[in-house]
Amino acid sequence: MLEAINEWILAQGAQYNVNPYVFVAIYVGAIPFFLGSIAWLVKNARAGKSTVLPTMAAGFFFVSAYIYLAIFGQDIPVWVWIFLAALVVYGAFSQVRETRKKIAAAKQREESAL
pLDDT digits (tens, 9 = 90+) for 41-77: 999 988 889 888 999 999 999 999 999 999 999 988 8
pTM of the model: 0.74
Domain count, the chain: 1
Q: For residue 114, is pLDDT > 80?
A: no
pLDDT for 30: 97
Whether the CB-CB separation of 19 and 77 falls below 8 Å is answered with no
User: How would residue 12 be classed by pLDDT, with cut points 50, 70 and 90?
Assistant: confident
Which residues constitute the domain of residue 96? 2-113
CA distance 96 to 102: 10
Give Cα separations from 46 to 24, 49, 59, 105 (angstroms).
33, 8, 20, 10
Q: Is 48 left (phi over 0), alpha (psi -120 to 50) or beta?
A: left
